[in-house]
């Protein structure tokens, strides 16, 4: 539509001179974005976990899982020295945040962030530091380690940050006795974990009010919070109908439709590309979120953005259900402004050589396409997210 200006040539020349410099418009094949889906490289652990929890087994699932385990092993090995340096005091007890985290993470009903929070609370408990400062440093190191375990998981890092904020904010300086202070911290940590566990329940209570009799809801992606909302609405004898997107490549829609069908809710499955076709009949769109960013937009499973766009253009409300521990201090400006989280895609047939595959597992939905966010802090408009974050972090 827009003719290229002469300065584009200049760009090109520049790029020729510096091969590393690539035009922003062409998605550049660089080290972080591998053109070929390589299960062993750059795969997002977060999405591996999700897939695992959602129990969708694809053909190469086992291989992937194996790879993920290997990777975890790698990271654990890699962080071994770190860990020993960081948690030197607790080394004698062989306590490791990662182990603790993995223990919690295995519980299918527990979100990753909550697992991290529980793990961090355990760090405080098992910590042998004798001063407040030491304890804080140790906690910081543990949370950094957790965050570096999976840099692609927004809720993990957000959960760690929030925990640190929540626990250390009232910097327990007011307690002269270190043990009292530590107990206080443990108490706070556990309380925070509890709140986070309850968050889903709170959201369900708030969100189910928006479901009215006879409505049709389009759900994209499998979110435990959304499921909780729908469950509660169904148990309140609301009559509604669900359209489920298929949710390639993890086929999240299959799992959701299974759960909903078990509740006796009429469900219809759509392929992902039928969203616009079906939007006519839809009254509202429900999605979950992997992370809620500072602008009030959300980062969620691939396809959320287009669903929200279609809904917005047809004036249908888009509701997001997300726990407040997913609020992250991130501010992506566009889709490429995120750490890439790659997730292999199984096309069922071998991909011809030389063909690139977009393997990003998530996209960013800007706030103007969202109507409301159901969180445990209440039902918020997107712009309040930033308000909450500012109050929390500044």
Partner 1 sequence: MDNRWPSRTVSDPKVRQVGFVTPGAAPPARYLSEVPTTAAASSPPSGEPAPPAISISPVMIPPPRHSPSPSAPLAVPNPARRESLQIQVGGYNPPEVLLGSPPLTSPSSRMDDAVSQFSEDPSMSPCDGRSGAAKVASSFPGSSGEMMVMKAGTVGGGSNTPKSSWTTASVAKTRPGIQEKEREAFVGTQNDWAGASKTLKEKTTKAERRALQEAQRAAKAAAKESGAGVKLSAAPGGAVPANTKQGKVVKSPAQKKDGPQVANPSVSSEKKVVDRPPEKDRKKDIPPPRMQFDDIHRVEKAKRRALVYQFEAKNRVELFRHLPQYIHGTQLPDLETKFFQLDPMHPSVYKVGLQYLSGNISGGNARCIAMFLAFREAIRDYSTPPEKALVRDLTAKISSYVSFLIECRPLSISMGNAIRFLKNRIAKLPDTMPESEVKSSLQSDIDRFINEKIVIADKAIIRHAVTKIRDGDVLLTYGSPCVVEMLLVYAHEVGKQFRVVIVDSRPKLEGQVLLHRLVAKGISCTYTHVNAISYIMHEVTRVFLGAASVLSNGTVYSRVGTACVAMVANAFQVPVLICCEAYKFHERVQLDSICSNELGDPDVISKVPGRKDLNHLDNWADTENLQLLNLTYDATPSDFVSMIITDYGMLPPSSVPVIVREYRRENLWI
Considering only residues 24 to 53 of the shown chain, the ones binding partner 1 according to CB under 8 A are 24, 28
Residue 331 binds to partner 1 (criterion: CB under 8 A): yes
User: What are the Cα distances from residue 362, in Å, to 13, 176, 255, 303, 342?
Assistant: 33, 47, 19, 8, 8
**By C-alpha distance, which of 364, 387, 365, 369 is closest to 377?**
387
Residue 383 binds to partner 1 (criterion: CB under 8 A): yes
Task: Tell me the chain's radius of gyration from C-alpha atoms.
Answer: 22
Options 20-28, 147-155, 267-275, 352-360: segment touching partner 1 (CB under 8 A): 20-28
- Residue that has been written with the tokens 């556990």 in this structure: 190
Residue 75 binds to partner 1 (criterion: CB under 8 A): no
Structure tokens at 206: 């708030």
Using DSSP bridges, classify how beta strands 240-245 and 215-220 pair: parallel, antiparallel or unpaired. parallel
Contact partners, residue 241, CB within 8 Å, separation at least 6: 215, 216, 217, 265, 266, 267, 268
Residue 335 binds to partner 1 (criterion: CB under 8 A): no
Q: How many residues bind partner 1 (CB under 8 A)?
A: 33
Order of strands, edge to edge, in the sheet holding 298-301?
291-292, 298-301, 362-365
Residue 9 binds to partner 1 (criterion: CB under 8 A): no
What dihedral angle (degrees, nearest 10) is formed by the CA atoms of 290, 292, 293, 295? 140
* Binder among 187, 281, 337, 356 for partner 1 (CB under 8 A): 337
- Residue that has been written with the tokens 């840099």 in this structure: 151
Minimum CB separation of residue 13 from partner 1 in Å reads 10
User: What are the Cα distances from residue 222, in Å, to 44, 234, 339?
Assistant: 17, 17, 22
Contact partners, residue 344, CB within 8 Å, separation at least 6: 37, 38, 39, 43, 60, 64, 249, 359
Residue 194 binds to partner 1 (criterion: CB under 8 A): no
Residue 11 binds to partner 1 (criterion: CB under 8 A): yes
Considering only residues 247 to 306 of the shown chain, the ones binding partner 1 according to CB under 8 A are 294-296
Is 74 assigned a catalytic role? no
Q: Nearer to partner 1 by C-beta: 22 or 151? A: 22
Considering only residues 301 to 330 of the shown chain, the ones binding partner 1 according to CB under 8 A are 329
CA atoms of 161 and 102, how far apart (whole Å): 18
Minimum CB separation of residue 318 from partner 1 in Å reads 18
Minimum CB separation of residue 90 from partner 1 in Å reads 33
Quote the strand ranges of the chain, DSSP E: 215-220, 240-245, 267-270, 284-287, 291-292, 298-301, 318-321, 362-365, 372-375, 378-380
Q: Give 327's DSSP letter.
A: B
Minimum CB separation of residue 384 from partner 1 in Å reads 9
Minimum CB separation of residue 322 from partner 1 in Å reads 17
Minimum CB separation of residue 171 from partner 1 in Å reads 19
Options 71-79, 162-170, 270-278, 384-392: segment touching partner 1 (CB under 8 A): 384-392
Catalytic residue among 161, 250, 290, 363: 290
Residue 363 binds to partner 1 (criterion: CB under 8 A): no
Q: Nearer to partner 1 by C-beta: 34 or 52? A: 34
* Binder among 16, 20, 92, 173 for partner 1 (CB under 8 A): 20
Options 9-17, 69-77, 186-194, 220-228: segment touching partner 1 (CB under 8 A): 9-17
Residue 367 binds to partner 1 (criterion: CB under 8 A): yes
Considering only residues 81 to 100 of the shown chain, the ones binding partner 1 according to CB under 8 A are none
Using DSSP bridges, classify how beta strands 298-301 and 372-375 pair: parallel, antiparallel or unpaired. unpaired
Structure tokens at 198: 């309850």
CA atoms of 256 and 246, how far apart (whole Å): 9
Q: Nearer to partner 1 by C-beta: 171 or 383? A: 383
Q: Nearer to partner 1 by C-beta: 247 or 291? A: 291
Minimum CB separation of residue 386 from partner 1 in Å reads 4
* Binder among 74, 177, 356, 387 for partner 1 (CB under 8 A): 387
Residues engaged in binding partner 1 (CB under 8 A): 2, 4-5, 7-8, 10-11, 14-15, 18, 20-24, 28, 294-296, 329, 331, 333-334, 336-337, 367, 383, 386-387, 390-391, 393-394
- Active site (catalytic) residues: 290
């Amino acid at each position: 539509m827009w003719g290229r200006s002469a300065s584009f040539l200049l760009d090109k020349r520049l790029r020729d001179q510096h091969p590393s410099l690539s035009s922003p418009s062409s998605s550049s094949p660089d080290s972080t974005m591998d053109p070929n889906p390589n299960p062993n490289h750059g795969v997002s652990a977060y999405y591996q976990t999700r897939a695992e929890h959602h129990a969708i087994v694809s053909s190469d699932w086992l291989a992937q899982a194996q790879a993920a385990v290997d990777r975890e092993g790698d990271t654990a090995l890699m962080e071994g020295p770190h860990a020993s340096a960081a948690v030197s005091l607790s080394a004698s007890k062989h306590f490791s945040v990662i182990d603790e985290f993995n223990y919690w993470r295995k519980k299918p009903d527990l979100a990753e962030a909550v697992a991290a929070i529980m793990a961090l609370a355990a760090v405080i408990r098992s910590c042998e530091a004798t001063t407040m400062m030491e304890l804080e440093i140790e906690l910081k190191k543990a949370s950094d380690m957790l965050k570096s375990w999976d840099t692609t998981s927004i809720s993990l890092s957000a959960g760690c940050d929030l925990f640190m904020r929540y626990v250390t904010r009232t910097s327990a300086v007011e307690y002269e006795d270190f043990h009292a202070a530590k107990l206080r911290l443990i108490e706070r940590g556990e309380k925070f974990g509890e709140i986070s566990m309850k968050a889903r329940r709170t959201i369900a209570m708030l969100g189910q009010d928006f479901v009215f009799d006879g409505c049709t809801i389009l759900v994209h992606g499998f979110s435990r919070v959304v499921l909780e909302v729908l469950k509660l609405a169904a148990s309140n004898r609301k009559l509604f109908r669900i359209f489920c997107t298929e949710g390639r490549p993890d086929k999240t829609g299959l799992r959701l439709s299974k759960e909903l069908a078990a509740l006796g809710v009429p469900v219809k499955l759509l392929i992902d590309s039928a969203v616009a076709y079906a939007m006519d009949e839809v009254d509202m769109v429900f999605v979950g979120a992997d992370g809620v960013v500072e602008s009030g937009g959300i980062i969620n499973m691939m396809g959320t953005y287009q669903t929200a766009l279609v809904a917005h253009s047809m004036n249908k409300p888009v509701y997001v259900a997300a726990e407040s521990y997913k609020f992250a201090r991130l501010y992506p400006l566009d889709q490429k402004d995120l750490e890439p989280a790659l997730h292999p895609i199984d096309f069922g047939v071998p991909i011809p050589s030389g063909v690139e595959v977009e393997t990003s597992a998530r996209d960013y939905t800007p706030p103007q396409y969202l109507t409301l966010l159901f969180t445990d802090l209440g039902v918020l408009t997107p712009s309040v997210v930033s308000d909450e974050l500012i109050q929390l972090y500044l």
